[in-house]
Structure 1
Amino acid sequence: AELKHGAHECVLTSPENVADGICNICNKDEPVEFACDLCNFDLCSPCSKLPPKVSHNFHTDHPLELCLGKKDGETRNMLCSGCGNLFSEAFYYKCKDCEIYLDLSCAVLANIETGWDAEEKLHYSHAHLLRRCRPGTNARGSCLLCELPLSPCAICYGCVLCNSFVHEGCLDLPREIQHPAHPDHPLIRLDYTHTCGDGKVCDACG
C-alpha cells in the first residue's frame, strides 16, 4: 500500500516486514505502518491517519492545518492554546488566520472545554514578554527568581524565544528587602541586565 502524507514530501509505502521504529511525528517506538526508506522516515498507524485539516470545537472560526516545523536544526517553542504546554515538536496544528496552535495531544481530543489563559507580562527578571504557560516535557533549568528546578506541569510565565521561566508564584517576590546581614541599606533584587555577567559571591555566607 502507498500513502501520500502531508508530513513528508515522498510517497510512503507499507514495509514488507512490519517492525518497530521511532515514528517521525509522535516520536514513539511503535510498529511502522508506512515508511520512506530513502529518507529514513517512519510513521506509526495512528499518525498515518492524521488528517491534513481538522475542524475543532476549540476554534470554530477556521480549520486547523497540520504543519511541519522548519528543518534548520533550531528548536522553536510554541505555546499550545489548548493545554498551555510549551512544545517544540516538528508537527502541530495551526490556524493560518489566527494565533492558534494545538499540539498533537490536544488536536486529537474530541473536546477542549476552555482554552489556556496565555496572559502576557513584562517582568524585570527578563528582557522579553513572559507568557503564562507550562514548561512541558522539554522543561530544563530552573526558575529565574527562586532558582528551583522546573517541573513540566508547573504554571509559569515563560519566554518562548529564550526558553526561560518564572514560577507564577514567584512573580510577586519583593524587588527590595531589608536584611539583617546589611541593615544600613535595602537590598534590591538584580534584574537580568546584572545577572548575565560574572557570578557574584554572597556576602552573608560566602
Structure 2
Amino acid sequence: MEESKNYGHHHPLLLLDEEQLINNQSGVADCSKCGEKVSAPCFSCAEYCGFYLHKVCAAAPLEINHPFHRDHPLVLMQKPPYSFGTYICDFCDKTCEKFFYHCPDLDFHIKCAFFTFNIAENNLKELEHFVCQYPLVSTKNDDEELEEVRNCFGCWEPLANYTHFSPYCGFNLHKKCAELPLEL
C-alpha cells in the first residue's frame, strides 16, 4: 500500500489496489467526495475511519475553467452556500450533499463537471457512449416533462422548440445538438 497526501482529510490515506479494497470493507464503499461506489485503485483512510476517494476525485482541482461556463471558474465546495443545505446539479438535475463545483450561476456534481468538460474538449465524442446507454426521445419543448429543464447539455443554451431527452437520466439536447457529428 502506497501512502499519499491526505486530500483534505485529517488522517493519512493509502492507495489501495483491487485485492486490498476487497479485504478492506468487503470491497463496498462510497467515495467521500462524489458519493459513488469506489473501485480500485482508490484511496482509503489509514486509520480505517471509513473515508474513501476515487483517484479522480482525489485529484479534482479546487477550481476549473469549464468550457460550458467561461465567465468565471467553478470552485470545488464541500458545503452548499445555500441556507437549505443541498443543491441540484445543473447537468443531471439530481440533489446531492457531497462535494460539487459551484459558481453563482451553476452547480455540478464532480462527475457531471468532468463528464461535461470531456464532452466539450472531445468534440462531443463522449455522447456516443452516453446515447448508446440511454436512448434519446424526441419531443416538443412545451411537454410537461421538460418544463423545468433549463439548458441544452450540448451547447448549454436555453432549450427551445424540439428537443431530445432521456427520461432515465435527465440528459437534454437541442435537435441540432443531438444531430452534430461525433467528430469534427
Task: Give me the TM-score of the superposition, normalised by structure 1.
Answer: 0.45
Relative contact order (alpha carbons < 8 A, sep ≥ 6): 1 or 2 greater?
A: 2
If each structure's helix is expressed as a fraction of its own residues, which one has the higher value? 2
If each structure's strand is expressed as a fraction of its own residues, which one has the higher value? 1
Report the structure number with the largest CA radius of gyration: 1
Task: Give me the TM-score of the superposition, normalised by structure 2.
Answer: 0.49
